[in-house]
Chains A and B, each alone.
Chain A
């Protein structure tokens, strides 16, 4: 089992561009959450997908959007990039209804906006 995988590992974009990050959940998991971790900060919840729909959302602008596919993989899209969007983006997965609420985190995608 490869666990949670994310691609790409690193990405450099310029202000105003758009970016798409990808996540494959751990085998058997159906719920995917995305977090933004700015340098020196703790991860902040962006949103969560279950059954191909956004189930919860954190305090992020509409420039941040996502999608979940029938195979449970997920994408995070950020439009009109700002310098402040530079961060490590983490994906986490879990199987809804698990007795034990452990989410597995991927290694992250480091986004640099110039």
Chain B
């Protein structure tokens, strides 16, 4: 079946690292994505990882994938107040362009 789960809330202090976790169930997922949504706005793609990778780094963002446990994480280094938003992970089976989104994690950054 298709199900993507995330913890609902995360609060960190400015300058600390944030780690947002996600678990998925579809073993045929080929692409996994992280999106950011600010209040009243649409979805902004942050980064993605192919299922044959276990890590991807992009500036302050690090994605880790444990395919055996179907666990995905997003680490934000040096978290800033502008990073406060809701973060969604999403999975997709190659070629379908159909994304299954998680419930979203609300990140609050304290100054």
Chain A interface (Cβ < 8 Å from any Cβ of B): 31, 33, 35, 40-45, 48, 56, 58, 90, 92, 94, 96, 101-103, 105-108
Q: Are B103 and A45 in contact (CB under 8 A)?
A: no
A-B CB contacts (within 8 Å), total count: 51
Interface hub of A43, A45, A90 (most chain B Cβ within 10 A): A43
Q: Are A45 and B92 in contact (CB under 8 A)?
A: no
Q: Are B45 and A41 in contact (CB under 8 A)?
A: no
Interface size class of B (residues with CB under 8 A): 20 to 34
Q: Are A90 and B42 in contact (CB under 8 A)?
A: yes
Q: Are B42 and A103 in contact (CB under 8 A)?
A: no
Do A42 and B42 form a contact, CB below 8 Å, given A31-B97, A48-B97?
A: no
Q: Are A42 and B4 in contact (CB under 8 A)?
A: yes
Contacts of B94 in A (CB 8 A): 101
Majority DSSP secondary structure for residues of B touching A: strand
Chain B interface (Cβ < 8 Å from any Cβ of A): 4, 31, 35, 41-45, 48, 88, 90, 92, 94, 96-104
Known: A102-B48, A103-B99. 13 other contacts (CB 8 A): A35-B101, A40-B104, A42-B88, A43-B88, A43-B99, A48-B98, A94-B97, A101-B48, A101-B94, A105-B35, A105-B43, A106-B42, A107-B42
Q: Are B92 and A101 in contact (CB under 8 A)?
A: yes
Bound Cα distance A48, B93 (Å)? 14
Bound Cα distance A16, B74 (Å)? 42
Contacts of A58 in B (CB 8 A): 98
Contacts of B104 in A (CB 8 A): 40-42
